[in-house]
């Protein structure tokens, strides 16, 4: 008796595959992949700052108020978080933002990355 394996229909809507697990092998793989990518997204919540509707407005405001780079005086192209959001900086606080040219923004970002690596 115990040799009969109970088969169930795959839990995925509309999939007729029979399986001994919750999902057929193909949908198990898809399910795991989806779960991994969700975990990945949730571990980087700061990414959503740049897709937030408040960000473009704030960005425009900073560029208007600080038309030149704080470091070299070149035209502001980038708006930078003084304390990066990854380090717990407030994402939508005007006083926590400043304008930089592209060059100084990328060198600041690179320094932050280096600092994290412990250089």
Pattern 42-81, Zn ion, x by CB under 5 A: ---------------------------x-xx-x-------
Q: Is 15 in the site for Zn ion (CB under 5 A)?
A: yes
CB of residue 51 to Zn ion, shortest distance in Å: 26
Q: How many residues at the interface with Zn ion, by CB under 5 A?
A: 12
CB of residue 82 to Zn ion, shortest distance in Å: 15
Q: Is 10 in the site for Zn ion (CB under 5 A)?
A: yes
Per-residue HEC secondary structure of the chain comes to CCCCCCCEECCCCCCCCEECCCCCHHHHHHHHHHHHHHHHHHCCHHHHHHHCCHHHHHHHHHHHHCCECCCCCCECCEEEECCCHHHCCCCCCHHHEEEECHHHHHHHHHHHHHHHHCC
Q: Is 105 in the site for Zn ion (CB under 5 A)?
A: no
- Which residue, 15 or 58, is less far from Zn ion as judged by CB? 15
| Dist. CA 57–CA 59, nearest whole Å | 5
Residues that bind Zn ion (CB under 5 A): 10, 12, 15, 17, 24, 27, 69, 71-72, 74, 101, 104
């Amino acid at each position: 008796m115990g040799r009969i394996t109970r088969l169930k229909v795959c839990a995925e809507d509309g999939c007729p595959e029979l399986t001994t697990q919750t999902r057929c092998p193909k949908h198990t793989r898809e399910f795991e992949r989806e779960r991994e990518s969700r975990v990945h997204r949730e571990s980087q919540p700061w990414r959503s700052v740049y897709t937030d509707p408040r960000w473009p407005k704030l960005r425009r405001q900073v560029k208007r108020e600080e038309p030149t780079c704080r470091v070299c005086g070149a035209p502001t192209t980038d708006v930078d978080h003084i304390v990066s959001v990854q380090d717990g900086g407030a994402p939508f606080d005007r006083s926590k933002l400043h304008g930089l040219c592209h060059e100084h923004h990328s060198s600041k970002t690179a320094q932050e990355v280096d600092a994290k690596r412990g250089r």
